[in-house]
Amino acid sequence: MKILKSIKMKTTKKYVCLMAVTLIALQACREEGRFELYSGDTVAPKKPTIIDWEPFFGGAIIYFQPPDDEDLLSINAEYTNVNGRTFRFAASYFTNAITVSCMGSVDPHTVKVYSMDRTGNKSEAVSVVVTPDEPIVQRVASTVSVKPAFGSFMVEWANGLMSDVNVYIDFEFTQNGTQRSITQVFSSSEDSVRVFVENLNLTELEPVSIRARVEDYYDNSSAVVDLGQITLLTDEVLPKAGWSLPDVRTEIGGVPQCFGDAHEGKLRFVIDDIIDEGMIYNYMHTDSRGYNGDVAFGNLPWNILIDLGDYYELSRIITHQRHYAENVMERGHYYQDENVGIYNMYIWDEDLAQWEFVSQRIIPVPNTGNLVELLQKARAGDFAYLYPDEPKFSKPTRWFRYEAIVGFQADYTSLLANCLSEITLYGRKSNR
């Protein structure tokens, strides 16, 4: 009896499994049929039923009930702006809402909503009048702000919806008696943006008047925002004639000077104003000796301690990478291999007798497939502000500390970063 019962149970299980497989296959065929082309179909689908709508920034979310049509592909919406340009939006047949975001004012706008099947047949359109919330361009424009920087000014804005926008910065100034008007355009879809309008070379007696406006893909433009008039900060390259480097392992505030004399490298090369390029080998190399110059200690971090020879207030830094290539037109090691991708900056606080952290710099890799452009950026060096959030001078200091953190490789996680070509600092002489 037990054997017979066991056979019956196995037979029942097989039957259930067979039925399950059959049902799945039938469902798959039915679903597969839904995606077939209805080449001979000329019958338009039924129109969707509009249930409600709610305002959105520069548009609206329209809620609908899709019609019961077996070959329904999507629910579409169309909006034509005042310039006669039509924008189309689509939502899948198994959703119940569609977002339209292309409007440039808070006035009432008419949107046409219709169904479309897999042959391209369209239903009768249903008109929906919506009143959007604040347009995206105006929303972004209201967040634009400027701050003076060194030989430049900083522009920031927020774009919480991460929409594609173009921010136009119009600025005017008088230089050497000549009135100049310039416009720069910055495109971005990032949540928050900071850019610099650079290389203005203006004095404190030559103020800059700045305005901004924002445009989007949909031909919408914000009102012009008057950002007022600012005066730029001025600094200069610090002379290296008085700089010196303590011997390896010499400690300042408990931090030892790194080893940098491996292979063709010399630590002193980082402050000699000669940049490594092609066969001109002019860089330092730690040979992975790390923090205290000992091979057993590890690769990173390592520190370069610079005695500035006098008291200065620091503002900016330029770092140059090791090139190490047989031909100056080769990429060599730029933005990869053993170069430093992230570093920290410190100044020595004499009043507290300790190192004061200034900021961390992540050197950006140029987003270009053009080798010439990459080489130009690398040879110009990476320009960074010591205080990027609020450009200013540091407190008076005689010592500067460069701390290598990681290399460029493996998305800034590589612990193989042995080399650096040059450090240049900007600032002004202190009255201390």
CB-CB contact of 315 with 427 (8 Å) = yes
Asked, for residue 391, whether it belongs to a domain, the answer is yes
β partners of residue 173: 180
Q: Decide which of 175, 200, 230 is a domain's last residue.
A: 230
Q: Mean pLDDT, to the nearest integer, of 170-197? A: 96
- CATH code at position 202: 2.60.40.10
Encode pLDDT of 87-134 as tens digits.
999 999 889 999 999 999 999 999 999 999 999 999 999 999 999 999
Encode pLDDT of 314-352 as tens digits.
999 999 999 999 899 999 999 999 999 999 999 999 999
In this prediction, residue 432 carries a pLDDT of 81
CB-CB contact of 212 with 155 (8 Å) = yes
In this prediction, residue 94 carries a pLDDT of 87
20 pLDDT above the threshold of 70: no
Q: Decide which of 130, 160, 186 is a domain's last residue.
A: 130
List the structure tokens of 174.
Answer: 């008088």
Q: Decide which of 73, 97, 130 is a domain's last residue.
A: 130
Distance CA 241, CA 288 (A): 29
Asked, for residue 92, whether it belongs to a domain, the answer is yes
Encode pLDDT of 406-427 as tens digits.
999 999 999 989 999 999 999 9
30 pLDDT above the threshold of 70: no
- Same-domain pairing of 244 and 225: no
Structural domain of 178: 136-230
Q: What is the pTM of this model?
A: 0.80
Q: Mean pLDDT, to the nearest integer, of 235-257? A: 96
**CA angle 152–371–318, rounded 5-degree value:** 35
Q: State the DSSP H helix or E strand holding residue 409, giving kind and residue range, or none if neither.
A: helix 409-412
In this prediction, residue 221 carries a pLDDT of 96
- Same-domain pairing of 328 and 403: yes
Half-sphere exposure of 62 (CA within 13 A, CB side): 31
For a pLDDT cut of 70, what percent of the chain falls above it? 89
